[in-house]
């Protein structure tokens, strides 16, 4: 899957409002909902049912679930950052990633953020130091 296709699919979601657990372009999504929508645009049906989760991901039952899902459905990336890669972020000192986005360029990414919706933002130093892992969409 080319980075350009992934970024184009993600940019189609720009302006979508933030809605916890939603994944409907133009109506609402959260960060995982954005990835789910990009997956559907690229491949069709989603690969698995998403279990319920709290907006703050502070649910011990789902600890590490975001990373496990990325490891199951995406391909781990260890090379140079490249457009179209999925970024997992650790937030608020949590051990496991609780946020995700899609890299547009080495300095920009797209994500769904509470109060802002889906935005393209700078991958500032504050965001960059929270990147816990990078993945790419698989070739199917």
Can you name the residues that pair with 38 across neighbouring β-strands? Answer: none
Residue 1 is predicted with a pLDDT of 65
Cα gap 19→8, rounded to integer Å: 21
Q: What is the pTM of this model?
A: 0.93
* 138 has pLDDT over 60: yes
Mind listing the pLDDT tens digit for each residue in 82-107? Answer: 999 999 999 877 788 989 999 999 99
Q: What's the pLDDT at 42?
A: 96
Q: CA triplet 53, 56, 57: central angle to 5 degrees?
A: 45
Given 3.90.1720.10, 3.40.50.2300, 3.40.50.300, 1.10.645.10, which CATH number is that of 3-136?
3.90.1720.10
Residue ranges per structural domain of the chain: 3-136
Cα–Cα distance, 72 to 68 (Å, whole number): 6
Helix residue ranges per DSSP H, 1-140:
3-11, 31-43, 65-73, 125-128
* pLDDT given at position 25: 98
For residue range 6-62, list pLDDT tens digits in order.
Answer: 999 999 999 999 999 999 999 999 999 999 999 999 999 998 888 777 766 566 666
Which of these ranges, 59-73, 84-98, 110-124, has the smallest mean pLDDT?
59-73
Q: What's the DSSP call for residue 41?
A: H
């Amino acid at each position: 899957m080319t980075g350009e296709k992934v970024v184009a699919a993600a940019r189609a979601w720009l302006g979508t409002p933030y809605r916890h657990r939603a994944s409907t372009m133009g109506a609402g999504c959260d960060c995982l909902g954005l990835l789910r929508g990009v997956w559907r645009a690229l491949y069709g049906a989603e690969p698995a049912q998403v279990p319920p989760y709290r907006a703050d991901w502070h649910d011990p039952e789902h600890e590490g679930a975001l990373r496990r899902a990325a490891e199951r459905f995406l391909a781990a990336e260890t090379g140079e950052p490249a457009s179209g890669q999925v970024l997992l972020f650790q937030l608020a000192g949590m051990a496991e990633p609780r946020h995700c986005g899609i890299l547009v360029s080495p300095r920009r990414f797209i994500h769904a953020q509470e109060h802002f919706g889906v935005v393209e933002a700078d991958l500032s130093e504050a965001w960059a130091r929270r990147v816990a892992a990078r993945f790419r969409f698989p070739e199917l």
